[in-house]
Structure 1
Amino acid sequence: MPQLIILPNDEFCPEGIVIETNPGTSVCRALLDNGIEIEHACEMSNACTTCHVYVREGFDTIEESDEIEDDLLDKAWGLDPDSRLSCQAIVSEDDLVIEIPKYTINQVSENH
């Protein structure tokens, strides 16, 4: 079973965490299922950037992003070459190291 190693993030998991998930699960779903309340304003429908993450290790083991995701990522805060929308990044058989950005662009967040 692949592991997601989540790097420390002051808001979501200050100590960092390692979680196990099934291949075929989105990174976003795995985070939510394990109590990491990452924002996902569009309910994981590939229509916003609030679930943006960095895949620091294992990036090449997940399927490539499509044109819609790429267009959305262009609008994400802090975009870098390891950026993905966690709702679209599907876990394979390999472990991933994930960093949750410090900020997100969400004009309608109910958590703030």
Structure 2
Amino acid sequence: MTQIIVLPHVELCPDGTVIEAEPGTSICDSLLANDIEIEHACEKSCACTTCHVIVREGFEALNEATEEEEDLLDKAWGLEPQSRLSCQAQVGDTPLVVEIPRYTINMAREHH
């Protein structure tokens, strides 16, 4: 299992937390499995930016972003060089520190 430190997010994880993730799973699935209800309006199909995260540590160990993901990230709120769509970024063996941005652009809010 790989450790993911989730930095505090005012709504989703106010105190921050540390979770364990199975290598090969997406950051999004790992967060959801640990009751961190990150938005994923497109049902994790790489068609929106609601699951945008910033990988503060361990970014280089993630699988490479596809061109489709890179194009979508250009539309994400608070884009940074270490931004990824959590539905596309797969956990490896390297521990991660992840920040969920305070805001997201969701044109059709869905409640999961």
SS, match of residue 46 in structure 1: coil
Q: Does residue 1:4 correspond to 2:4, yes or no?
A: yes
Superposed, which structure 2 residues align to 1:62-73 within 5 Å? Answer: 62-73=62-73
1:44-103, Cα deviation, whole Å (9 max, x unpaired):
001100000000000000011010000000000010101000000000011100000000
SS, match of residue 72 in structure 1: helix
Q: Identity of counterpart residues, as a percentage?
A: 65
Runs of at least 4 residues of structure 1 off by over 3 A?
none
Unaligned runs of 5+ in 2: none
Q: Is the 8 A contact 2:41 2:110 kept in 1?
A: no
Query: 1:4: how far off?
Result: 0.6
Give TM-score, length-normalised by structure 2. 0.97
2:76 corresponding residue in structure 1:
76
Q: What number of residue pairs does the alignment pair up?
A: 111
Query: 1:109: how far off?
Result: 1.2
SS, match of residue 69 in structure 1: helix
Q: In 2, distance between residues paired with 1:102 and 1:77?
A: 9
Unaligned runs of 5+ in 1: none
1:16 corresponding residue in structure 2:
16
Superposed, which structure 2 residues align to 1:31-46 within 5 Å? Answer: 31-46=31-46
CA RMSD of aligned residues (A): 0.7
Give TM-score, length-normalised by structure 1. 0.97
